[in-house]
Amino acid sequence: AYMGALISLIQGDPGAADFVFVDFKNATPGTEEEKLVYENVATVLSKAPTVLESLESYKGCEDLIKKAIQEPSPETMDSAWDALLPNIDKLKDYYDYSIEIEEVFPNLLSTLCKNDPHQTISQLQGLTKQLAETFDFVLRFDDMKMVNPGIQNDFSFYRRSRNQRKINKADVASNIQEEVTNRMSLFYAYPTPMMNSLKETIVKFLTKDEMQGRSLQQNVTTTLAFIANICQRMVEKKMVEDYEIFCLRCMTASIILYDNIDTKGAFHKRTPIFIKKCLTTLRQKGDEVECLLNALRFTTTHLQDEETPGNIKQLLQNNPIGIIKRNSWKY
């Protein structure tokens, strides 16, 4: 079925020479080098479903916090504090997981980007699949975090109360070091903490060695553009119907990261990304992908540039921030 779809895709599309089918469901590593990187990344990615499940069931301590603020007493403060601690442990787990991703991601990216990206993506499909799985996790995590104000409220109250309890010599009963709390605070201050963490990881990775960085940066942006275009075509040609939303997340994350890394961004007339096609594909999917359109509206940096054509801006206008449907996370 895939071969037939590929043949019809190539016959009917003049730009198909620049297309590679990526088997995001079944790809496995081929070479020994790929296998080594793949296994390290797989260990980290295997924890992603547990993190998402935990975040989806996260319930903030809003009522107890409100009571502690409106009727301050040792009892109300202690009640809020005791309820907060398990939640703060969860937030620490999510933050720790972002660091695990930070640690394996540069190796994944450098293996995919050290040679011609078009060939590499075709040859190293196991790692390309893992890149897509990382993007999928990042967007799903940030999506859930954005619609749960309890996370930011809990953490803000925790920091204030922790300092107050120290002053009052009350038991803090939290094992989290002050320095870690400060880093967590910076992490959760961003509306999309995982995407911001990934972006900073790539920037750090690219600036580590400037001489290597110039050609490497070109390869990284080429890879991101190529993956965005591949995902768009696979969705448009109905080659991924059972995991379409996964491909759309991968496409969206690639555009966001490209726009944040490339000096001209992703939206100008000469962008290598088929940006109009990508946005049109998303707009055709309706409410289910409103969260992805919002991600493009609010986490890119070049959308409002003068160089961005009016029709591209128009494609990302009209809809206000919608309520994100829970089923948009499933695929």
Tens of pLDDT, residue by residue over 27-75, are 999 889 899 999 999 999 999 999 999 999 999 999 999 999 999 999 9
Give the gyration radius of the chain's Cα atoms: 22
Q: Which residue has the higher pLDDT, 200 or 288?
A: 200
* Per-residue model confidence (pLDDT) at position 326: 37
Q: State the angle between helix axes of 125-146 and 244-261 in degrees (0 to 180), rounded to the nearest 10.
A: 90
Read off the tokens for 323.
């309520």
Band (175; pLDDT cuts 50, 70, 90): confident
Q: Which residues of 105-140 are buried (b: 16+ CB within 10 A; e: fewer)?
A: beebbbbbbeeebeebbebbbbbbbbbbbbbbbbbb
Rounded mean pLDDT, 257-265: 95
Q: How many CA atoms lie within 13 A of 18 on its CB side?
A: 14
For residues 84 and 158, is the Cβ–Cβ distance under 8 A?
Answer: yes
Lowest-pLDDT choice from 37-46, 108-117, 129-138, 310-319: 310-319
> Mean pLDDT, the chain, as a whole number?
87
* Per-residue model confidence (pLDDT) at position 5: 43
Band (16; pLDDT cuts 50, 70, 90): low
Percent of the chain at pLDDT > 70 equals 86
Percent of the chain at pLDDT > 90 equals 69
Band (162; pLDDT cuts 50, 70, 90): confident
- Burial class for 46, CB neighbours closer than 10 Å (0-12, 13-18, 19+): exposed
